[in-house]
Amino acid sequence: MKTQTITVTFREDKNTTENLQKAIEKLNIEVKGIEESNTSAKTQAGEKCEKSCNIKHLRRNTGLMRSYKKMIKILFVCHGNICRSPMAEFIMKDLVQKAGPAAEFHIESAATSREEIGNPVYPPARRKLAEHGISCAGHAARQLTKRDYDTFDLLIGMDRANLQNMRRICGGDPEGKLSLLLEHAGRSGDVADPWYTGDFEATWRDVLEGCEALLKELRRGK
């Protein structure tokens, strides 16, 4: 995914580049183009039987999920699951509720650490949500598990440290499900942890921007 390119060698008499593209797109990966190379192997009879191709511009395509799944499952992740990720969870739930239909989405949040397991949303974060009419009642922090990778379509971290720990817990990211929230808004930065900054208004703005962009991204693929 870093190079956005894979090279595939296949049997011409058994497969086609079109079939390869369809198989990759079923993994929620968008294919922008395919370049076929002239290199090929030969059978003992001298017949061409293998071909290589470079599949270009791969990227996670959340819109493609709409074609294969009735419900999109999103998991927001931060360090403790008491500030940023529950803010993202409940902001996103509020956005999809207003946009409708909310039944198309299943949204949760989790932590990469065990430090706050079982705790509710941190009071300043809870108050910031309440300022905007959003309730986070009933939330209890939990830790991300490897099983979550199979359960959810998108696992979205708040910062690069989260993302590194998510990869560790999930055993990598073979299906391209992991991302940072602000990437969906076209930004490369992290959502700063208000536990340390004390600036819950800035966190609210960043999380709202990321969630709004994510929802638009998903709606475009509907």
What confidence score (pLDDT) does residue 147 get?
Answer: 97
Q: List the catalytic residues.
A: 78, 84, 193
Domain residue extents for the chain:
5-60, 64-220
How does pLDDT run across 171-216, given as a tens digit for each residue?
A: 999 999 999 999 999 998 999 999 999 999 999 999 999 999 999 9
Rounded to the nearest 10 degrees, how much is the dihedral formed by the CA atoms of 19, 59, 90, 112? 100
Indicate the residue type of 182.
L
CATH of domain 64-220: 3.40.50.2300
pTM of the model: 0.70
Burial 69-91, CB ≥16 within 10 A → b, else e? eeebbbbbbbbbbbbbbbbbbbb
Alpha-carbon radius of gyration of the chain: 21
pLDDT of residue 162 exceeding 60: yes
Model pLDDT, residue 26: 62
**Confidence band for 154, pLDDT divided at 50, 70 and 90:** very high
Residue 204, token pair as written in the block: 């609210």
